Amino acid sequence: MVVDDDPMVITGIRGILQAADGVDVVASALSGEESVEKAGLHFPDVVLMDIQMPGIGGIEATQRLLNSVRPPKVVSLTSMSSDDHLFKALEAGAAGYLLKDIGPVELAAAIRKVHAGEPILSPQSMRQVIAKVRSNSDHRLQREAVELLSGLTDRERQIAELVADGLSNQEIAEETFMSLATVKTHLNRINVKLDTNNRVRIATMVVRARGH
């Protein structure tokens, strides 16, 4: 489902995705309120969510969708790169954060990755996350991160470190000589132990523990 208050943006994204294999646009919405209503009718797997819209906006709409009976994976799609928007979207539970200048091929690939359970960020956004965490000198948060990471097994810690280094699930599988399914199993366990819900938060925890 595509959510944006600009009908031209929706039309453009629909046109892009119609040419993408394995991606069907089942609905669109012009507001956060409408997105919640439409999601309850069409049950999309992935939602591309604009952030700045009249009404409840994309952040609150994301929270409502993720608290629904059949929550979709939500990707924030915005025209501006803002630290404030980025962190609010991730805190709301967004599985990804992309800028609207992303290319057609990259957009379709990002949707497939999110659908497969691999949250995504544009490289610029990931750099923003890491820079923000590194600039935070809160030693209490660092100690908490170190304590949580100490509960991981050696293999889980290795995978968490590779996530923080920006490797995809496939790249981690190749690096550790494990199957992709095994990597996903380890990531699920890491999320439970760290009380996180996506790889961005895992990366944040690791960078915070490193303290630099």
* CATH 3.40.50.2300 boundaries in the chain: 2-120, 130-210
Q: What pLDDT, on a 0 to 100 scale, did the predictor assign at position 124?
A: 66
| Contact criterion met (CB below 8 Å) for 34 and 10 | no
Dihedral class, residue 119 (left if φ above 0, else alpha if ψ from -120 to 50, else beta): beta
Residue 60 has pLDDT above 90, yes or no: yes
Q: How many CB atoms lie within 10 A of CB 69?
A: 7
Question: Average pLDDT of the chain?
Answer: 87
List Cβ neighbours of 111 (8 Å cut-off, separation of 6 or more). Answer: 17, 20, 23, 46, 48, 75
End-to-end CA distance of the chain: 39
With respect to CATH, is domain 2-120 assigned 3.40.50.2300? yes
pTM, whole model, 2 decimals?
0.71
Q: How many CB atoms lie within 10 A of CB 210?
A: 15
Share of the chain above pLDDT 70, in %: 90
List Cβ neighbours of 3 (8 Å cut-off, separation of 6 or more). Answer: 28, 29, 30, 31, 32, 34, 35, 47, 48, 49, 50, 53, 58, 61
Which superfamily is assigned to 130-210 in CATH? Answer: Response regulator (3.40.50.2300)
